[in-house]
Amino acid sequence: MTASPDGRLDPQYEAEPAAEGTTTESETTRLARETLAKATTHLLGLQDETGWWKGNLETNVTMDAEDLLLRQFLGIRTEEQTRATADWIRSQQGEDGTWATFYGGPSELSTTVEAYVALKLAGDDPEAPHMKRASRWIREQGGIAATRVFTRIWLALFGWWPWERLPELPPEVIFLPRNFPLNIYSFGCWARQTIVPLTVVSAHRPVRPAPFALDELHTDPANPYRPRPSAPAYTWDGFFHRLDKALHYYHKMPVKALRRLALQQAARWIVERQEADGCWGGIQPPAVYSLIALHLLGYDMDHPVMKAGLNAFDRFTVHTDEGHRWIEACQSPVWDTCLALTALADAGLPADHEALVRATDWLLGEEVLRRGDWAVQRPGLPAGGWAFEFDNDNYPDIDDTAEVVLALRRVAHPEPGKVAGATRRGIDWVLGMQSKNGAWAAFDVDNTSTLPNKLPFCDFGEVVDPPSADVTAHVVEMLAADGKAGDPRTRRGIDWLLKEQEQDGSWFGRWGTNYVYGVGSVVPALVAAGLPTEHRSVRRAVAWLEEKQNADGGWGEDMRSYQDKSWAGRGTSTASQTAWALMALLAAGESGEVVDRGVRWLAETQLPEGTWDEPEFTGTGFPWDFSINYNLYRLVFPVTALGRYLHGTPHLTPSELDLDARAVLPLPTGGASDAPAPRRLLPSLAGRRLR
């Protein structure tokens, strides 16, 4: 691939005639070259001058509603913020008056309640048609009483719901030792960062005077509280229900000295985990509750910790050309940058291209060299790796580290020793984070207890961090690229992946939607690690993808597949999911009409500027409960897929590895892939399977 002096691709390079004596390329290949040239040029143009890429990270309007409620609680809400945010929330409302958690998704009660309250806070008349449609639907679904705990916590802050009717979470949990059930490190990192400040809020039970009533959101305003169904005492639900009742009694008569010490320890824990940019964990939930908790503990709005935290929210704010204002739940520059770097390398940019070197320099500067909460389980493991965000040194993650290492190996940097040192530290850290079952989770080791999900408090999203197929696959691919395909630790990961394959040939996708993402992650990893493309596990995955290809040639999968397996591999074709399918097929050595149709779909749906329209959400926070639209996915993954279609996959071949794949990685008839797949994730109290 040729590039102009300013780093952009020559748009005419693909039109050059084939050299004399060569076979004229196919029409699909020509389309692929033209499509890739436009997409690569567009991607290069999105790079920040300091080297990173970042696409907007869209979630749902609870982020925006809670931002207004936070500012109302702290007394800092402005009319301009309120107007612009309310305009955005209205623009996302469905015709039936409700809001969903992902594009095209079904109406969601808690989201609709929070959006309604925000609009009423903005001055919308409850008798206005859009508000009446929303309130009527809310009542039909059971009203406020049927919402999740987190929604009712927000309402309790203003007296719209009684604290006494919320699960109790005492700050004394901060003292539970690491080997004790339900200590804070039993929870996933995102959950523990949220729970610790919420224990402070729960202890104070603050109420700010509500500016209006919400009677119209109750099925019976005179008796708005639903009796909680009881469970037998011998069940976990029954046990935790009784424990919650005991904790409510304790709230009335706590041991004062212990409570005071617990609040002090919680405050210290929160402040110590504030990141350099002022946020907590780089994500919205811990940040909002940490600000509320510290405010209740006496931190005034001029305190540096509070000011930094609020400033972080300003950096998470997106202002649109239409005058709307919305909040990113998180920002993904490290993730986006390493994916963009890999895509551009696959597209054929020279390894020493200025854009790649600049991205590498920025990534090297983002290496995490301090010990975070992960060290509780791995006290002797040296620091290393990368986080997802601009600033999140407490919680580097395994998935980002694997993908960053893979990306950095594609660059010819002028200081190779510097790159080698960072990648070595990252690889060593990842190897040290392997769970007992041989697989890898996103942030923690062996964070698989079933108890946290049974707490009455935990009715939204996954609160533990078990290993997943997509993260494990990325690690296996990284280790194979480092020449460790035959390492016993890699082989344990491969074995786990083979056992995790679903009966239909797919893999569950924890951090992307869903089975298409799982297959798109696992198949390239297995092949890179030496599994022959004729292996039965690979062939079953290929057959699944072929079966799921849409009539238009693309692939898509709706978020509903997290609740209903019949949706697996079904949905409107999207650029990112089509690219994932192509990446798997190409890694498996596939060619022919199935692959060509996918490539042609990408060519035919490309926008004039070089990217793709993708309003569908294909990223996952908590499967089903919290969905993400990574705005850069629609570009980086098609560039990767088209680059590999034209130039081949970048992986080592089995003959280059110190591994006899057929001897080491057999899958006997009647073996793991024929057995029922183990449960991937633990069910929440709401019965949903939930990263």
Q: What is the pLDDT of residues 311-324, one digit of tens each?
A: 999 999 999 999 99
CATH architecture designation of domain 24-56+331-433+468-673? Alpha/alpha barrel (1.50)
Comparing CA positions, the residue from 463, 530, 533 lying closest to residue 493 is 530
Report the pLDDT value the prediction gives residue 23, as an integer from 0 to 100: 52
Whether the pLDDT of residue 433 is over 50: the answer is yes
Whether the pLDDT of residue 576 is over 90: the answer is yes
What angle is formed at CA 587 by the lines to CA 584 and CA 592, rounded to 5 degrees?
85
Comparing CA positions, the residue from 562, 68, 57, 136 lying closest to residue 316 is 57
Report the pLDDT value the prediction gives residue 25, as an integer from 0 to 100: 81
The label of the residue with tokens 């994932």 reads 580
Half-sphere exposure of residue 228: CA atoms within 13 angstroms, side-chain side: 18
| pLDDT confidence band for 651 (50 / 70 / 90) | low
Report the pLDDT value the prediction gives residue 236, as an integer from 0 to 100: 80
pLDDT digits (tens, 9 = 90+) for 172-203: 999 999 989 899 999 999 999 999 999 999 99
Would you state the torsion angle of the CA atoms of residues 176, 177, 182, 184, taken in this order, to the nearest 10 degrees? 80
Give the residue, 333 or 671, on which the prediction is more confident.
333
Catalytic residue, from 391, 393, 397, 399: name it.
399
Residue 281 Ramachandran class (φ > 0 left, ψ -120 to 50 alpha, else beta): left
Report the pLDDT value the prediction gives residue 569, as an integer from 0 to 100: 98
User: Could you give the CA distance from residue 575 to residue 611 in angstroms, rounded to a whole number?
Assistant: 9
User: Could you give the CA distance from residue 463 to residue 452 in angstroms, rounded to a whole number?
Assistant: 7
CATH architecture designation of domain 60-327? Alpha/alpha barrel (1.50)
Q: Which two tokens stand for residue 499?
A: 């056992």
Judge if 24-56+331-433+468-673 and 60-327 fold alike in CATH terms.
yes
Q: Which residues lie below 8 Å from residue 128, measured CB to CB, with a gap of 6+?
A: none
DSSP state of 678: P
pLDDT digits (tens, 9 = 90+) for 490-518: 999 999 999 999 999 999 999 999 999 99
Helix (H) or strand (E) holding 619: strand 619-622
Instruction: Let me know how long the chain is.
Output: 691
Mean pLDDT over 223-238 rounds to: 77
For a pLDDT cut of 90, what percent of the chain falls above it? 84
| 96 has catalytic annotation | no
Compute the Cα dihedral for 60, 61, 63, 64 and give only its sign.
positive
Helix (H) or strand (E) holding 628: strand 626-630
User: Could you give the CA distance from residue 463 to residue 453 in angstroms, rounded to a whole number?
Assistant: 6
Q: Which two tokens stand for residue 154?
A: 């927000």
Q: Which two tokens stand for residue 46?
A: 């999105």
pLDDT digits (tens, 9 = 90+) for 101-159: 999 999 999 999 999 999 999 999 999 999 999 999 999 999 999 999 999 999 999 99
Q: Which residues lie below 8 Å from residue 506, measured CB to CB, with a gap of 6+?
A: 515, 516, 518, 519, 541, 544, 568, 569
Whether the pLDDT of residue 535 is over 90: the answer is yes
Q: Which residues lie below 8 Å from residue 614, measured CB to CB, with a gap of 6+?
A: 574, 575, 576, 629, 633, 634
| pLDDT confidence band for 240 (50 / 70 / 90) | confident
User: Could you give the CA distance from residue 627 to residue 407 in angstroms, rounded to a whole number?
Assistant: 26
pLDDT digits (tens, 9 = 90+) for 241-265: 888 899 999 999 999 999 999 999 9
Average pLDDT, whole number, for the chain? 91
Q: Any idea where the domains of the chain sit in the sequence?
A: 24-56+331-433+468-673, 60-327
Report the pLDDT value the prediction gives residue 228, as an integer from 0 to 100: 67
> Lowest-pLDDT range, 341-350, 426-435, 642-651?
642-651
pLDDT digits (tens, 9 = 90+) for 558-573: 999 999 999 999 999 9
pTM of this prediction? 0.91
DSSP state of 447: B
Give the residue, 300 or 689, on which the prediction is more confident.
300
How many Å separate Cα 30 from the centre of its chain? 35
Q: Which two tokens stand for residue 324?
A: 């709307």
Residue 42 Ramachandran class (φ > 0 left, ψ -120 to 50 alpha, else beta): alpha
Whether the pLDDT of residue 275 is over 90: the answer is yes
Whether the pLDDT of residue 667 is over 80: the answer is no
